[in-house]
């Protein structure tokens, strides 16, 4: 078991599976296809991100450095939270970027979303966690890799 | 009720607590929470009367956007002043689409366009021509030192760098909320410290570097940091209001912002803060990046070719992302006409679309130069090429462009201006 501590942006207690992107996640490219289809789950549609392409991320913990891409990014995060097909948690190794921060805040204030967001978990976190690992997230920003 | 970490004035606190209604309270809460994440110390007044929004397209998937816009309108909330917005995503008159592409655009991608444009108008859109990424070319020109609530990365970097205004790189919706509340959180590029350069960039090329490649190189190197660039004033002069300098800095900045995440650059001897404060703008711990001809070649050679068939001939060419200035539009008209004459051709080799702000296009269409442009087979539009390439059916097309931003966000292939000219006028296969 390895434990990491980050800054809580939107807190919560949660246990579940990790999906890991080592590169910045392009929000629009990742979620666009599933959202356009009104899908019940998000299957990642960004062909330029081989870490997560075609992976189902709804209800999982998306572990990433930051988000990148279009300034619609914040709106896209709000949209998938509104549709309740979002990852349960966004776990950022770096300081959250402004577009993802906008999305998390929009989801909290305008959608009443319970999405969890923790940032500044460190590069070591992203090196240690693997897709499929089980994670435990605590309200205080502690993230534990269970296996 | 949200308890802010930053210090708010009694008026701001009242807005947060609902003194101006529930909608305004939610708008304020969004801005304050956002600022708290970045350690903002306070909220400051937006001082420019005109905002600029990035979300110009009624893309069906953004359902919360349309719902929120309706809620704001029903609550009688409007921006203080007015705003311009990014280009429209469609222009069937000047950018040809086949019936299947139109079906995807109309029924799936931009199904809410008409509804969304009505919402924009109700909230304070300047006028029906206010659709451009280069709003500073159509009169939305903030003063030096103005605090802005803008989004659109290329417009923000231009406003910060060339005009000396102050604006962070905002997301869609936060731009609108800042215009409505009249306040934005004070952090990052709004602060003197945040505007200091972490990089000294020294340009040592043998001739004036291609704006879009130089911007790309710097963006990829410095990412979100502020660069202070030496050596460009010898090519651009010392007047940042010169129309040729504006065109260059617009294209350069867009590339720094899209290939990296630059929100502000300083050009030694040219941009207003560099002229005013000179090297006091550079942090003591600044890193150094030297750019010569070989470095620019290395950067351009690193661009991946995303076409399904790499040896395809160009089918569609976009020139003008960000939108062209009036001078650039005229220069391109002259160059295309002369290039065709040189190569013994009368028409461009592929569908060629030049894009500029609607006001500039309207003025250009009144003159004889427009007839010269049409005679070459090229077309003039005010579309957003990026929004066009969002259509999955266009991804099979061999699209070329001289825009590094369009290259970054689509499968379009990048060429320098001169290379583009040779391709579309038949000087190169």
* Chain B residues 309-348 with a CB less than 8 Å from chain A: none
User: Which token pair is B232?
Assistant: 């460009």
pLDDT in tens, B318-369: 999 999 999 999 999 999 999 999 999 999 999 999 999 999 999 999 999 9
Q: Which domain holds residue B346?
A: 316-424
Q: Do the domain assignments include residue B401?
A: yes
Mutate to test the interface with A, among B3, B30, B40, B61 (most CBs of A within 10 A): B61
Strand partners, A64: A92
B301, B333, B355: which is the final residue of a domain?
B301
- What number of CA atoms fall less than 13 Å from residue B26's CA on the CB side? 16
Residue A31: closest C-alpha in chain B? B61
Whether domain A2-145 has CATH 3.50.30.10: the reply is yes
**pLDDT of A45 strictly over 80:** yes
Q: Do the domain assignments include residue B307?
A: no
**Residue closest to B175 by CA, chosen among A111, A75, A82, A95:** A75
Please check whether residues B183 and B200 belong to one and the same domain. Answer: no
pLDDT for B108 equals: 83
**Residue closest to B420 by CA, chosen among B402, B398, B405:** B402
B190, B208, B225: which is the final residue of a domain?
B190
* Chain B residues 137-166 with a CB less than 8 Å from chain A: 151-153
pLDDT for B428 equals: 63
pLDDT in tens, B74-120: 999 999 899 999 999 999 999 999 999 999 899 888 999 999 999 99
Please check whether residues B78 and B198 belong to one and the same domain. Answer: no
* Of B26, B62, B172, Cβ closest to residue A110: B26
Interface confidence, given as ipTM, is: 0.95
Quick one: CA dihedral B44, B131, B261, A6, positive or negative? positive
Q: Does the pTM exceed 0.90?
A: yes
pLDDT for A35 equals: 84
pLDDT in tens, B263-280: 999 999 999 999 999 999
Q: Domains in chain B: how many in total? A: 3
B301, B324, B358: which is the final residue of a domain?
B301
**pLDDT of B317 strictly over 70:** yes
User: Which token pair is B290?
Assistant: 């030297």
- Rounded to whole angstroms, how far apart are CA atoms B55 and B66? 11
Please check whether residues B321 and B339 belong to one and the same domain. Answer: yes
**Residue closest to B171 by CA, chosen among A147, A133, A98, A53:** A98
Q: Do the domain assignments include residue B308?
A: no
Pair B185, B31: CB distance under 8 Å: yes
CB contact under 8 A, B62 and A79: yes
**pLDDT of B372 strictly over 50:** yes
Mean pLDDT score of chain B: 96
Question: Distance of CA B112 to CAs A6, A31, B71, B119, Å?
Answer: 39, 19, 16, 11
CB contact under 8 A, A78 and B34: no
Confidence grade of residue B394 (pLDDT, cut at 50, 70, 90) = confident
Q: Domain ranges for chain A, please list them.
A: 2-145
pLDDT in tens, B293-310: 999 999 999 998 989 899
Using a CB-CB cut-off of 8 Å, the residues of chain A touching B169 are: 71, 98
Q: Do the domain assignments include residue B306?
A: no
**pLDDT of B429 strictly over 50:** no
């Amino acid at each position: 078991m390895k434990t990491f501590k980050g800054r809580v942006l939107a807190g919560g207690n949660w246990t579940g599976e990790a999906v890991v992107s080592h590169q910045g996640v392009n929000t629009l490219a990742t979620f666009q296809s599933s959202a356009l289809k009104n899908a019940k789950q998000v299957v990642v549609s960004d062909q330029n991100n081989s870490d997560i392409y075609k992976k189902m991320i709804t209800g999982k913990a998306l572990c990433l450095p930051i988000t990148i891409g279009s300034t619609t990014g914040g709106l896209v995060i709000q949209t998938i939270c509104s549709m309740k097909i979002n990852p349960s948690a966004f776990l950022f190794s770096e300081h959250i970027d402004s577009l993802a921060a906008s999305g998390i805040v929009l989801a909290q204030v305008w959608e009443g979303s319970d999405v969890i967001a923790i940032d500044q978990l460190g590069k070591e976190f992203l090196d240690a966690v693997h897709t499929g690992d089980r994670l435990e997230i605590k309200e205080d920003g502690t993230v534990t890799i269970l296996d | 009720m949200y308890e802010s970490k930053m210090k708010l004035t009694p008026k701001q606190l009242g807005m947060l607590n609902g003194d101006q209604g529930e909608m305004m309270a939610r708008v304020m809460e969004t801005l304050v929470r956002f600022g708290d994440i970045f350690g903002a110390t306070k909220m400051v007044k937006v001082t420019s009367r005109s905002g600029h929004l990035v979300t110009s397209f009624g893309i069906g998937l953004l359902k919360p956007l349309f719902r929120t816009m309706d809620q704001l309108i029903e609550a009688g909330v409007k921006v203080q002043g007015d705003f311009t917005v990014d280009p429209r995503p469609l222009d069937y008159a000047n950018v040809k689409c086949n019936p299947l592409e139109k079906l995807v655009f109309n029924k799936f991608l931009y199904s809410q366009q008409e509804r969304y444009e009505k919402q924009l108008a109700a909230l304070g859109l300047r006028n029906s021509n206010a659709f451009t990424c280069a709003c500073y070319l159509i009169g939305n020109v903030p003063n030096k030192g103005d605090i802005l609530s803008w989004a659109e990365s290329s417009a923000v970097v231009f406003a910060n760098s060339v005009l000396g205004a102050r604006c962070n790189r905002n997301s869609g919706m936060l731009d609108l909320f800042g215009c409505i509340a009249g306040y934005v959180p004070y952090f990052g590029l709004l602060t003197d410290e945040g505007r200091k350069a972490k990089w000294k960039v020294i340009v040592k090329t043998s001739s004036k570097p291609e704006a879009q490649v130089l911007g790309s190189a710097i963006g990829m190197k410095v990412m979100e940091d502020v660069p202070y660039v030496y050596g460009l004033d010898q090519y651009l002069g010392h007047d940042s209001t010169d129309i040729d300098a504006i065109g260059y800095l617009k294209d350069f900045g867009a590339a720094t912002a899209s290939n990296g995440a630059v929100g502000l650059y300083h050009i030694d001897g040219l941009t207003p803060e560099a002229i005013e404060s000179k090297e006091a703008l550079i942090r003591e711990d600044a890193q150094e990046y030297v750019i010569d001809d070989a470095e620019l070649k290395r950067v351009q050679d690193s661009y991946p070719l995303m076409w399904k068939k790499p040896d395809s001939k160009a089918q569609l060419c976009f020139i003008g992302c960000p939108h062209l200035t009036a001078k650039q539009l005229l220069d391109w008209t002259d160059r295309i006409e002369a290039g065709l004459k040189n190569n013994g051709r009368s028409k461009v080799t592929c569908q060629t679309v030049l894009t500029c702000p609607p006001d500039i296009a309207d003025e250009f269409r009144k003159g004889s130069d427009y007839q010269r442009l049409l005679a070459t087979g090229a077309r003039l539009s005010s579309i957003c090429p990026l929004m066009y390439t969002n259509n999955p059916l266009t991804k099979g097309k061999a699209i070329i462009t001289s825009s590094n931003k369009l290259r970054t966000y689509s499968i379009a292939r990048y060429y320098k201006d001169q290379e583009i000219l040779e391709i579309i006028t038949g000087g190169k296969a």
